[in-house]
Structure 1
């Protein structure tokens, strides 16, 4: 059975107590807050023949088949490979499944994640099934970036925002998963994960704390002219490109915030606060805004799986970054 996260309890009560369910839900929110587990829990409850207090019983034939991965009325769709799009032929298989009669005589369930991975043709192929699914079918779409979905996809679903836990709840959960680490590590991980506990745990397991330290030290050396952009781009080859772009976007926002407010509390974590203040005081606003626009455009290309030369992109970014305090 999917894990039940404490920060989801209110939403779960709201969903599980419904007498009638929508034919399609769009569960959306930041990555790493447990949306997939919520969708699996809801799918199990809707397929269960004898639910208990809204939850799947775990003992009936439907529950046993679902647990074994052999439930004939459950269809799961996701990219065939990590970071690859969901293709139109995959969605056509889903459409065929929706058109069939439920073999166990109850509901049919579809779980699609992440919904934004569908390419344009795949998304268009799904529209009719979303609007008028055959029989008693419920489609559960999970999205980490709903802004990338077609408006026609979103309009055919009941959209449900999933909650981000409060700081205390997130720290408590993460401390339970990483009891060997100090509270400062838990706090740092949650900061890097923008408050998403599951994402924070994944970052720890992927060694991102060490990667972040490497990048922070590299940026400081770059601004002191102690390291060249090409050298840093090569040294960061093991750091995921989306992560790098997110970090530089984050830092630019901190620079802009300090320029607008002068509030030192808004300079971010102590590890980079002096760098942020240095850039905010020396970089002219037009140069910061121009770099932000360029960086967001490159980030969008990366998220869209564009075929970019990683080293050249990073070198271009670092050349622009190093020139910020010189532009004034």
Structure 2
């Protein structure tokens, strides 16, 4: 049986106690807070043939098939093996599944989770609308979404939209500590901050070695400002660091610089590893230049998220060239 996380218990009870379920739920919230676990638990609950105390029994034929990964009435919408996004052909296969009668005589459940719903192609999104507009009586669709603003309004309007809870800092730290017992509290707090408060994302970042990658990037930024390395050298040295993460860090630092320029509050300078650098840049940079690089970073981030065919090296060199030019009058 799939379990929900501690911070999801209240929402789980609300969902499990519903006398009648909607034909489609949109479970949304930041990446890394456990939406997949919640959706999987709800799917198992709906497909269990002998629910007990608001939980699947774990013993019926439905539960045994779920445990084996062979339940015929559970369908996960995924892209074809050679694709990154769900396409219209994938949705057509889903429509065929929905049209059939449930083999176990109960619900049919569709899970749209990885990649999240907003990553579908436009054609796939429009094709999915047919299933949402003309729902099958025994089918429940569970759509997971990290960024609802990127999802078609027509899809959102045909789902019960459910915001998933983000755990508090203490709850996140306690859970992270249970997963990384060898890590100290400062490391856990840094991971959680880098994950924007999402504990599962923080755990994933730890496995990726993000703290070591960030140390490499911070050291490179310091050398860049001292003219000890060039943007092209850094772009090459950071080849193994996620481009989205690099752009996010640069944007976070530019935002910290701007906040400090406006408030003079040192608490706005971000994590300890870049505080002195951000303070220096805030004192030495013109505000219009900071705003300009912020706008450029946002524009490039949208292109990266949109999977545009970008030249990574040239993009980074351009951004780092702007960053190196921040201090000074020009």
- Residue 261 (structure 1) aligns with: 263
Describe how 1:215-230 pairs up with structure 2 within 5 A: 215-230=217-232
Relative to structure 1, the CA distance from residue 177 to residue 82 in structure 2 (aligned partners, 3 Å threshold; closer, same or farther) is: farther
C-alpha separation between the residues in 2 aligned to 1:79 and 1:115? 11
Check whether the contact 1:65–1:71 (CA below 8 A) recurs between aligned residues: yes
Q: How high is the TM-score relative to the length of structure 1? A: 0.97
SS at match of 2:325: helix
Q: How high is the TM-score relative to the length of structure 2? A: 0.97
Check whether the contact 1:98–1:108 (CA below 8 A) recurs between aligned residues: yes
Matched, 1:202 2:187: no
C-alpha separation between the residues in 2 aligned to 1:261 and 1:255? 10
Structure 2's unaligned 5+ residue stretches are none
- Residue 142 (structure 1) aligns with: 144
Structure 1's unaligned 5+ residue stretches are none
- Residue 70 (structure 1) aligns with: 70
Count of matched residue pairs: 328
Check whether the contact 2:80–2:90 (CA below 8 A) recurs between aligned residues: no
How far residue 128 of structure 1 moved from its aligned partner, in angstroms, is 1.4
Relative to structure 1, the CA distance from residue 327 to residue 125 in structure 2 (aligned partners, 3 Å threshold; closer, same or farther) is: farther
- Residue 175 (structure 2) aligns with: 173
C-alpha separation between the residues in 2 aligned to 1:275 and 1:147? 34
Check whether the contact 2:77–2:111 (CA below 8 A) recurs between aligned residues: yes
SS at match of 1:324: coil
- Residue 191 (structure 2) aligns with: 189
Alignment RMSD (CA, Å): 1.3
How far residue 256 of structure 1 moved from its aligned partner, in angstroms, is 1.7
C-alpha separation between the residues in 2 aligned to 1:297 and 1:266? 24
SS at match of 2:326: helix
SS at match of 1:325: coil
How far residue 150 of structure 1 moved from its aligned partner, in angstroms, is 0.9
- Residue 34 (structure 2) aligns with: 34
Query: After TM superposition, what 4+ stretches of structure 1 lie above 6 angstroms from structure 2?
Result: none
Range 106-115 or range 142-151, more displaced: 142-151
Q: Deviations over 1:162-203 (max 9, x none)?
A: 111101000000001111111111111111111111111111
- Residue 128 (structure 1) aligns with: 130
- Residue 304 (structure 1) aligns with: 306
Which of residues 283, 303, 308 is equivalent to 1:281?
283
Q: Deviations over 1:78-118 (max 9, x none)?
A: 23459811111001111111111111111110000110110
